[in-house]
Structure 1
């Protein structure tokens, strides 16, 4: 099994240096592909110098690709995966970085479940000074466990299977290519989750209960540019796509999609309230605020986030390593 780390970047050389250092210092060396989305800063010169220095030492693991024009994050991800030669891909945004043992731990976990096509770990959320803000929750028991393919989409729908952001996720290159890659119409707005939905059609999922990535939460993040209404609308679209993939075995417990839609409206109205946007919160929540089914889903989602023992799906998960 060979891993490739694909780093996408655009005009953030100061952050890219950290991401690149973390990729090149892995305890299990791997290919590193940097996709530069036509930056106008010194990114090209810096990465090319790193490539030349490594090549002089007999190391050709660093690959640099510069887009001829600015094509956006999603298309840059697709370009990087196309260029990569690894069987498995670890994505990395330029403002995030990896623990030094990330690729080694993922390689060991995937070897325990050859049927897997996607792997996720916990992540530490840090501020722009690299100070820890929080950690993503443990999604299940033990150190490593897997979820059979037929259970993944129901788990995603009910928010019991949290793959997370790109810094947490690795995937089979073959499975990714079968999906056609990232949807550029969703650029930086749930495009990653949409990809996890599609990849999961082709095999099982592996989860590692260990923090192997660092996600920077700051005002310069790409998703900060979207309005709450835009995030809500796209979130509903993503849930519709997950809903269509749920195995027939869950028909008897599958909630009506209207309840899910209303639950999302409640969720995003609470986000608006936290941001002090009272008018937006009131506008989004009506008439979902009168839906008992939506409130029930909101309560279940909160319980699921607080405890890995709260769902019947989690209770059925299969440990592959303690």
Structure 2
């Protein structure tokens, strides 16, 4: 099994150095691929100065994040791809721990871990929650989309995720029309059609929370609309055995509207709050889903909504 870490970058050399360093210092040797989306700073000179330690490709014109990720996967030679944005970085044992878990579940196509969310100075702000029992476990393919629909199995952002390269290529890659607004989640949805999922309840990645992050440019209404689109795509892929136990898509949309309206209120974003405020937020089924989702997260999936979780000794 060979891993390739694919780093996408655009005019963030000060952050890119940290991402590359964390990749080159992995305890398990792997290929490091840097795809430069036509930066105008000194990115090219810096990466080329690293010599053969890094595979470097520069887009001739700026193509956007999704297209740049797709180019990185094409240029990589590993069996597995570890995604990494230039403003994030990895624990030194990230690849080693993922490889150990994957070796115990060879039919897996996607692997995720806990990430620490840090500020621009590297100070930890929070961590993504545990998912399921133990240090590591897998979810059979037939249960993945059911879990995603009910928000019991969130794969997370690129810094948390690795996937099998052949599964990625079967999906056609990231959707450039989404371009940083759930293009990663959309990819996880489609990759999960081809095999099992692995979750590592170990903090192996660091995600930087700052105003320059790509997803900061989208309004709450845009994020709501894309969230609904993702749920519709997941809903269509839920295995038949779970169909009788899932909410209607209408109830899910009402829940999402409630969820994002409450986020706007929490953020004191009154224009977005009033824009999204509609009768859906008064729907009893929406509130029931809201309560169920919160309870499920708190229970870390120990309520057995996902069946056949198989522990991996890690």
Which TM bucket (shorter chain)? Answer: over 0.9
- Residue number among 116, 124, 127 corresponding to 2:119 in the alignment: 127
- Residue number among 182, 189, 194 corresponding to 1:190 in the alignment: 182
What are the within-5 Å matches in structure 2 for residues 219-238 of structure 1?
A: 219-238=211-230
RMSD: 1.1
Contact (CA 8 Å) 2:132, 2:302: kept in 1 or not?
no
Partner SS state of residue 313, structure 1: coil
1:9 aligned to 2:13? no
What count of residue pairs does the alignment treat as equivalent? Answer: 314
Q: Distance in 2 between matches of 1:99 and 1:49?
A: 24
TM-score by length of 1: 0.96
What are the within-5 Å matches in structure 2 for residues 16-165 of structure 1?
A: 16-51=16-51, 60-165=52-157
**1:310 shift after superposition:** 4.8
- Residue number among 203, 207, 211 corresponding to 1:215 in the alignment: 207
Structure 1 residue runs of 4+, over 3 Å off? Answer: none
**1:315 shift after superposition:** 6.1
Q: Distance in 2 between matches of 1:281 and 1:150?
A: 37
Contact (CA 8 Å) 1:35, 1:65: kept in 2 or not?
yes
Which digits, 9 at most, give the CA deviation of each residue in 1:174-217, with x for residues without a partner? 00000000000000000000000000000000111100000001
Report which stretch shifted further, 170-179 or 299-308.
Answer: 299-308
Partner SS state of residue 262, structure 1: helix
Q: Distance in 1 between matches of 2:311 and 2:277?
A: 40
Contact (CA 8 Å) 1:309, 1:315: kept in 2 or not?
no
* Residues 1:312 and 1:157: Cα distance change in structure 2 (over 3 Å): same
- Residue number among 158, 161, 169 corresponding to 1:166 in the alignment: 158
Q: Distance in 2 between matches of 1:71 and 1:309?
A: 39
1:287 aligned to 2:276? no
1:240 aligned to 2:256? no
Q: Distance in 2 between matches of 1:172 and 1:309?
A: 25
**Structure 1: any 5+ residue segments left out of the alignment?**
52-59
**1:287 shift after superposition:** 1.1
**1:61 shift after superposition:** 4.2
**1:289 shift after superposition:** 1.6
